[in-house]
Amino acid sequence: METSSERNTATFTHLSTLSQYIIPFGNYIFPIIIWSSYKDKSEFVNHHGKQTLNFQLSLLLYTLILALIAIPIFISVVLQNIPLEAIINDEDVYIRNFDFQSNIGLLSVGATAVLLFGVLKFVEFFLVIYASIKASNGELYKYPLTIPFIK
């Protein structure tokens, strides 16, 4: 049976990943600090710390893959259509000579990668909350689609 302190520490480990919305790389820094401080003291906190870090590292890998798909596609489409004519009237901007039809396939793949990134961040938020609830209830939790970098 886990103590209240262990449950709170494990819960805070999960919730500390939400600091990424305020502090860059906070989703790695704070869980590493908490996990490394308590991993030898509690097997429960050790489990949740590993799960938290593995999930965040997995998300980083998935994000890098999506970025490696989307960014080159958007750059190549723009560079192929460089002779753009922009007309600015009052408060409207018109872009002419941009050929969407010949690039619709590439743009669809790039837009899908960006959409998947948005879905990934949305799901991440709710999975972190769910894992925090499980930890506060004293239950072990494993994030879905997580690569076990730290064993």
Please list the alpha-helical segments (H only) found in the chain. Answer: 4-15, 26-38, 43-80, 104-136
CB 58, CB 146: distance < 8 Å: yes
Provide the whole-model pTM: 0.82
Quick one: what percent of the chain has pLDDT higher than 70?
A: 89
Residue 31, by phi and psi: left (phi above 0), alpha (psi -120 to 50) or beta? alpha
Q: How confident is the model at residue 128 (pLDDT cuts 50, 70, 90)?
A: very high
**Structural domain boundaries of the chain?**
4-136
pLDDT digits over 53-102, tens only? 999 999 999 999 999 998 888 888 777 766 556 666 777 766 666 666 77
**pLDDT at position 80, please?**
73
Alpha-carbon distance of 85 to 87, in angstroms, equals 6
Distance of CA 116 to the CA centre of its chain: 10
Of the two residues 121 and 93, the one the predictor is more confident about is 121
pLDDT confidence tier of residue 51, bands split at 50, 70 and 90 = very high
